Amino acid sequence: MADQNLPDLSSEASSVPETPVPATTSAVETKEKYLRFTILQRIEHITFLLSFTLLGFTGLPQKYANSSFGQGILAMLGGIETTRLIHHFSAAVMMVISIYHVMEVLYKLYVERTPWTMLPVVDDIRHVLQDIQYYLGFRKRRAYYGRYSYAEKAEYLALVWGTVIMGLTGFMMWNPITTARFMSGQAIPAAKAAHGAEAVLAVLAIILWHFYHVHVRNFNKSMFIGTLSYEEMEHEHPAELAEITARKVKSALSLPEIRKRQRIFFPIAGVLTITLGFGVIEFLTIEKTAITTIPRGETAAVFVPATPTPRPTPSPMPTPDQNRPVGSDTWDGFYQALFRNRCDSCHGATQVGGLSLKTYQNALDGGKSGPAIVPGDPDNSLLVQKQASGSHPGQLAIDELDKVINWIQTGAPEK
Amino acid sequence: MPVRCPSSSFFLIALGFLLIVVPVSLWGGGAYTQVALAASLSQESNPGEPTPQMSISDDTCLQCHSQPGLTMTLDDGDVLELNVSADEYAASIHGKQGYACVQCHTKVGNYPHPAWTAASRRDTTLALSTVCYRCHSSQYEKAQDSVHGAAQASGNKNAAVCTDCHTAHTVRQLTDPKTNKLRSESHVLIPQMCSKCHNAIFQKYTDSVHGAALIDENNQDVPTCISCHGVHNIENPTTAYFRLNSPQICAKCHTDKKIMAKYGISTDVLTTYVADFHGTTVSVFEKQSPDAEVNKAVCFDCHGIHDIQRVDDPVAGIQLKENLLLRCKICHPDATANFPSAWLSHYAPSAENNRLVYFVDLFYKLLIPAVLGGMGLLVALDLSHTLYTKYRKRKPAPPPASSPQTPVEEGQNG
């Protein structure tokens, strides 16, 4: 198999290409190098590879955002918003490189008249069947691949399909308002479903198909160094090698003819590139999907006190009418009731300050500070002193106090 | 020395006494909580009899404070009501359990009362409500950490303190002490409490699907204020954190199959939300940076906050795309008529709902295995053939010198 015959690439011996004749392989001929990819194509591949990898690496954790795998990568990349930024940037790179690729293909087809060897043909299906026969032992060797084997063609087609799908669905997700102007809004979640599933398909296909064919089975370095050796060509592209050696491949076109086609191609390609470039800019900027501020929260005012219940109308406790006809101007006749109503809260049971005004004797005894009532001497009666200040909690009215003073003046009779 | 001897022996005796008495009283005293103390105070006091100064009975206080119209004019002209209805207090949880006035009013026990320094009614409330800490320290501390506590700390005197919600003298027991859950008759009281200060929001709530069910039917499933905002440690609902966490608040009930089954509401609302762009973003932020400002829609951006309506409400229901569009436009001002159907309305894609998405999914469910299967088959054949020939080549004879003819020969052998 091919890996048994890995060419010694360290010997950079490809000097003057002598005529390679597969039938009579000489040592010189096997050191021939066959150019497959120009430096521009290799740069194109690296750029596409990087954008693809970044897109996959930033896209899949978004699809699986709530798995531990997704969470881990999102955290590593600095959160989901940063991840989206990287994803969008990579998408822009891929769009630009894809436009470049379209222009390159058109140039090769029109100006250089390169045969469209990437196009799948019926032979490719035959090659698949031949290879299966070979694997199963019904055939002596693999199919004779041309410039591109069915494996490469399948991959290229998948890439074109994938890029188109991802571009379209990506646009719809990036610009949902614009999309909804032209189709049902449900196309946007559908685009999201397709974008995610296509991504899984693309990444798995790259790992399974691409990695196997160019890294595992045989490390094909042509995409990085540009050339394949004679042995590699013999194993990977025998039909193309045969064509080259049989000189079936047309030699370079005449310069004037190329110039003539370039004069037609470049203006058209220029307009096309500008149009597509404009398309990319539109893709990135066509709409401002959402506000960048936090949406308004509760609009009602927070502190709106309910109207308080009105205070109950005061209804003061009735006091004895001092001018009532019954009752005499004595402790029993008037003052006991007056003091009970006005003073009893504190100078009743609780004897605040040691003073009780429950009985005549209590009043004469007084509290800690001395007798409340000194018959005949209102000035030395503490009750009068306290009340005269006007700020005692249980305050007597002025005419009530006058009446008390008069009563004490007259000896404060009990009965 | 002769002087010191008696004093030091007295000191030693005192110390020995303390060593015995203090541990005993601490150990035994644990059982005497303030409840017990309160009960002894209120029950042992005998109205009409002179009482010891330490335990002034409620009757003593009520001799003055039961007088209707007993008021005091404060410095700012506020009239402070000093009347307490003995019957109402007796019906309150504190009254029922026999707590005495002076257990809360610790600084006015003696008469004449010390001069009252609070300059306004509000200052009076603020000063007096600190006493709740004595028995309810856990709730009090939670309230201190709440949005109300923070507002108070920053000088907003209007922010609620204990008695604003619980009242001072008519405190009700809202929870069942056995289950520690709200009593069925308590639910409806909660929005009323909050409405004392948040009346505008209360009015919105009463018209919402939740508020109407609570007030009209005393529905026990619908959320009251505290279901979403918490009880004493009410957090600031305008923070980025609250916004980011809010879908989990709604999900508490809306993913509960038992509750939702009663009303025929899907419990897939959270998973379908998280599967969508808004929900994915919110859930990632919620896990990775819960304090981040995220403007992606959360439940209440579409459904409303205090004025949540049924989705099939004939007037405001967002089942109607035109109504939903109004909500979309809050964040997507340029949205047009088709835009709301980009949202899958909490339906997982199926052949009935969201058919387009369902068929895209189905297409890829077939395409991915088909493509990868074909590729995998060819790769497997190639790989096994390669390994097989390698094995064959190595075993029977050492491989010959590298030659381009080798594969052909192997092919013949294989």
Three-state secondary-structure class, residue B384: helix
Measured in degrees and rounded to the nearest 5, phi and psi for residue B79 equal -100, 120
**Residue that is written with structure tokens 């100078």 in the block:** A347
Alpha-carbon distance B396 to A172, whole Å?
Answer: 61
Tokens of A199: 């991504």
Return the pLDDT at B39.
37
> A115: which DSSP letter?
-
Return the pLDDT at B64.
80
Return the pLDDT at A134.
94
For the ranges B72-76, B156-160, B350-354, the lowest mean pLDDT is seen at B72-76
Measured from the Cβ of residue B87, the count of other Cβ atoms closer than 10 Å reads: 9
CB atoms A346 and B64 under 8 Å: yes
* Cβ-Cβ contacts under 8 Å, A180 against chain B: 335-336, 338-339, 341-342
Residues 6+ apart with CB under 8 A from A401: A384, A387, A388
Do residues A64 and A199 lie in contact, with contact meaning Cβ atoms separated by under 8 Å? no
For the ranges A10-19, A152-161, A182-191, B343-352, the lowest mean pLDDT is seen at A10-19
Question: How does pLDDT run across B190-205, given as a tens digit for each residue?
Answer: 999 999 999 999 999 9
Measured over the CA atoms of residue B258, residue B264, residue B265 and residue B267, the dihedral's sign is: positive
Of A40-44, A372-376, A400-404, B313-317, highest mean pLDDT: A40-44
Do residues A133 and B382 lie in contact, with contact meaning Cβ atoms separated by under 8 Å? no
Higher pLDDT pick, A387 / A269: A269
Mean pLDDT of chain A: 85
Do residues B310 and B291 lie in contact, with contact meaning Cβ atoms separated by under 8 Å? no
Alpha-carbon distance A152 to A160, whole Å?
Answer: 12
Q: How many interchain CB pairs under 8 A, A with B?
A: 263
Three-state secondary-structure class, residue A262: helix
* Cβ-Cβ contacts under 8 Å, A134 against chain B: 385, 411
Q: Which of A1, A73, A129 to mutate to test the interface with B (most CBs of B within 10 A)?
A: A1
Q: Which among B163, B155, B78 has a CA at the least distance from the CA of B120?
A: B78
Question: How does pLDDT run across A364-395, given as a tens digit for each residue?
Answer: 888 888 888 999 888 888 888 888 887 777 77
Alpha-carbon distance A407 to A393, whole Å?
Answer: 22
Return the pLDDT at B396.
55
**How much is the CA Rg of chain B, to the nearest whole Å?**
37
Task: Report the residue from B243, B361, B408 with minimal CB separation from A141.
Answer: B408
Do residues A201 and B367 lie in contact, with contact meaning Cβ atoms separated by under 8 Å? yes
Do residues A245 and A21 lie in contact, with contact meaning Cβ atoms separated by under 8 Å? yes
Q: Which of A64, A233, A294 to mutate to test the interface with B (most CBs of B within 10 A)?
A: A294
Q: Which domains does chain A have, with CATH numbers?
A: 17-285 (1.20.950.20), 331-409 (no CATH)
| Cis status, amide bond into B112, omega within 30 of 0 | yes
Cα separations in angstroms, A272 against A99, A269, A412, A414, B349: 9, 5, 122, 123, 40
Task: Report the residue from A185, A204, A312 with minimal CB separation from B340.
Answer: A185
Q: Which of A29, A131, A198, A298 to mutate to test the interface with B (most CBs of B within 10 A)?
A: A298
Q: Which among A113, A123, A169 has a CA at the least distance from the CA of A145?
A: A123
Tokens of B284: 């990632």
Cα separations in angstroms, B60 against A348, B100, B170: 9, 10, 19
CB atoms A5 and B404 under 8 Å: yes
Do residues B344 and B353 lie in contact, with contact meaning Cβ atoms separated by under 8 Å? yes
Higher pLDDT pick, B185 / A28: B185
Mean pLDDT of chain B: 83
Q: Which amino acid is at A136?
A: L
Question: How does pLDDT run across A286-322, given as a tens digit for each residue?
Answer: 999 999 999 988 989 999 998 876 665 655 555 655 5
A358 — pLDDT class (breaks 50, 70, 90): confident
Beta bridge partners of B71: B81
The whole-model pTM stands at: 0.76
Q: Which among B194, B274, B343, B378 has a CA at the least distance from the CA of A128?
A: B378
For the ranges A3-7, A217-221, A324-328, B95-99, the lowest mean pLDDT is seen at A3-7
Question: How does pLDDT run across A51-98, given as a tens digit for each residue?
Answer: 999 999 999 999 999 999 999 999 999 999 999 999 999 999 999 999
Longest Cα–Cα distance of chain A, Å, equals 158
Task: Report the residue from B113, B334, B399 with minimal CB separation from A4.
Answer: B399
* Cβ-Cβ contacts under 8 Å, B376 against chain A: 208
Alpha-carbon distance A223 to A104, whole Å?
Answer: 17
Query: Is the ipTM of this structure higher than 0.90?
Result: no
Alpha-carbon distance A228 to B172, whole Å?
Answer: 90
The alpha carbon of residue B317 is apart from the nearest alpha carbon of chain A, in Å, by 18
Alpha-carbon distance B327 to A186, whole Å?
Answer: 17
* Cβ-Cβ contacts under 8 Å, A208 against chain B: 372, 375-376, 379
Question: How does pLDDT run across B390-413, given as a tens digit for each residue?
Answer: 888 766 544 444 444 434 433 333
